[in-house]
Copies of this chain bind each other. A is one copy, B any other.
């Protein structure tokens, strides 16, 4: 039911654990680095900074974003435990990274990383794979921003959150949303009000219910997936759909 695809930034915690031995994945390179702490709201790096380090997220969530001239902010993605950030090639970071909650990361110097990659050719496909995933995610986001309406955007977002770190509990899937509504809005190209309104409607239709401020319980994943507009999903819950009015574009 909870297929995992389009993983944002390479996530490999479990795979790494299975083969506990040698570095067969990028995360292994960080294993020996000390863990650093970052309080909620603090920046890991800024857009335009010299990209001297790469980071592996050990715990917590971060937002990566760009600020444009008049102060508008565009969040290009969220990072979770297991993600690696900073592989961004070139000499400067393309975006800023900021802790949403208290975060623990491991830091690796870019030079050390490059050396490892050079000496361990098996890792190169992994780097490419990572970049490819990032590229695919960016393209999916362009599709979302180009021609999805508010409901589709919110459903797509929630679906991705589920696919990344799903927690089945009782009836429905518990989804953690550590970021604020403003973060979600800036990520989806909407306003906080529209995000709120949309989630309220989804609640009224029995598709989800809120669990505190930073979590929701998804009761009808099939419907949610359908409403997301990516018709890759054809589960057995299709009959659940109550109202599929989607005014595209």
The residues of A with any CB-CB pair to B shorter than 8 Å are: 66, 68-70, 72, 74, 76, 88-90, 94-95, 128-129, 131-132, 134-136, 138-139, 141-143, 145-147, 186, 189, 191, 229-231, 248-249
B89 touches A143 (CB 8 A): no
B72 touches A147 (CB 8 A): yes
Closest 8 CB pairs of A and B: A69-B231, A145-B145, A138-B138, A89-B132, A146-B189, A90-B132, A74-B146, A89-B128
> Which listed residue, B89, B132, B191, touches A129 by the CB 8 Å rule?
B89
A74–B186 alpha-carbon span in the complex (Å) = 21
Q: State the copy count for this chain.
A: 2
Contacts of A145 in B (CB 8 A): 142, 145-146, 189
B138 touches A135 (CB 8 A): yes
A132–B145 alpha-carbon span in the complex (Å) = 21
A66 touches B128 (CB 8 A): no
A147–B146 alpha-carbon span in the complex (Å) = 11
A139 touches B248 (CB 8 A): no
A147 touches B68 (CB 8 A): yes
A248–B143 alpha-carbon span in the complex (Å) = 21
Question: How close is A127's CB to chain B, nearest CB, in angstroms?
Answer: 9
| Nearest CB in chain B to that of A186: its residue | B146
Contacts of A141 in B (CB 8 A): 142
B139 touches A139 (CB 8 A): no
Contacts of A139 in B (CB 8 A): 66, 76, 94-95, 138
User: Looking at A95, A128, A134, A231, which has the most chain B CB atoms within 10 Å of its CB?
Assistant: A128
A229–B67 alpha-carbon span in the complex (Å) = 12
A72–B248 alpha-carbon span in the complex (Å) = 8
A sample of 11 more A-B contacts (CB under 8 A), given A141-B142, A146-B186, is A66-B143, A70-B231, A88-B132, A89-B131, A89-B132, A90-B129, A90-B132, A94-B135, A94-B139, A135-B135, A145-B146
